[in-house]
């Protein structure tokens, strides 16, 4: 092989190997989590979306990819975060526990997206009726909405019978 061909072959081999690692969905989930920890929700969303496309949504890693997408979207697009979570909840209800609903509602509440948080926790209340921790989360959303002077959120909670 001539030197130019060797360099080209080495470059192609390197690219092929790096592409293999980048396409591992579990590694993509890990990279998404690392990006969230660094405060980079856009990169996190890209990694979690890529992982989600390659994983069965009912698997633990598939669930991790969806919840990672939701967490990244809380700051990027809260309505899409809510919609993504609720779509997953409708199609894979058995995969979600009350704590998953609470976590997403808590993230949305912390970012002051109360209306989206109410939608998520209402779905959690319907999916896990009587769960005390869901009730506590509803109370917390109400308290935070009062502090933030969010009449729309308070009205929504009242209209749902939570206040």
Average pLDDT, the chain: 89
Amino acid 162: pLDDT: 85
Distance between CA atoms of residues 146 and 149, nearest Å: 5
157 and 82 within one domain: yes
- Domain boundary, last residue among 49, 76, 103: 76
61 and 11 within one domain: yes
Distance between CA atoms of residues 20 and 113, nearest Å: 38
88 and 15 within one domain: no
119 and 97 within one domain: yes
Predicted confidence (pLDDT) at residue 12 exceeds the cutoff of 70: no
72 and 122 within one domain: no
Return the structure tokens found at 32: 């998404």
> Tens of pLDDT along 52-90?
999 999 999 999 999 999 999 999 999 999 999 999 999
130 and 84 within one domain: yes
Residue 35 pLDDT grade (very low, low, confident, very high; cuts 50, 70, 90) = very high
Nearest residue to 163 via CA among 148, 145, 149, 147 = 145
What domain range is 11 assigned to? 1-76
Distance between CA atoms of residues 31 and 67, nearest Å: 14
160 and 85 within one domain: yes
Residue 6 pLDDT grade (very low, low, confident, very high; cuts 50, 70, 90) = low
Distance between CA atoms of residues 9 and 15, nearest Å: 10
Residue 132 exposure: Cα atoms within 13 Å on the Cβ side? 0
CA end-to-end span of the chain, whole Å?
Answer: 77
* Greatest alpha-carbon span in the chain: 78
Predicted confidence (pLDDT) at residue 13 exceeds the cutoff of 50: no
Q: How many domains does the chain have?
A: 2
> Tens of pLDDT along 105-151?
999 999 999 999 999 999 999 999 999 999 999 999 999 999 999 99
Amino acid 42: pLDDT: 98
146 and 86 within one domain: yes
32 and 96 within one domain: no
Nearest residue to 141 via CA among 129, 130, 131, 152 = 152
68 and 54 within one domain: yes
């Amino acid at each position: 092989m001539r030197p130019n061909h060797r360099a080209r072959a080495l470059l192609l081999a390197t690219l092929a190997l790096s592409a293999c690692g980048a396409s591992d969905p579990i590694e993509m989930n890990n990279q998404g989590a690392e990006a969230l920890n660094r405060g980079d929700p856009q990169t996190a969303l890209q990694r979690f979306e890529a992982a989600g496309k390659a994983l069965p949504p009912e698997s633990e890693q598939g669930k991790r990819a969806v919840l990672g997408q939701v967490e990244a979207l809380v700051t990027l697009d809260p309505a899409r975060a809510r919609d993504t979570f609720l779509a997953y909840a409708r199609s894979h209800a058995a995969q979600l526990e009350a704590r998953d609903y609470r976590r997403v509602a808590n993230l949305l509440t912390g970012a002051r997206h109360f209306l989206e948080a109410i939608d998520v926790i209402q779905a959690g209340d319907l999916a896990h009726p009587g769960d005390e921790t869901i009730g506590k989360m509803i109370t917390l959303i109400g308290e935070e909405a009062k502090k933030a002077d969010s009449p729309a959120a308070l009205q929504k909670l009242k209209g749902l019978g939570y206040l």
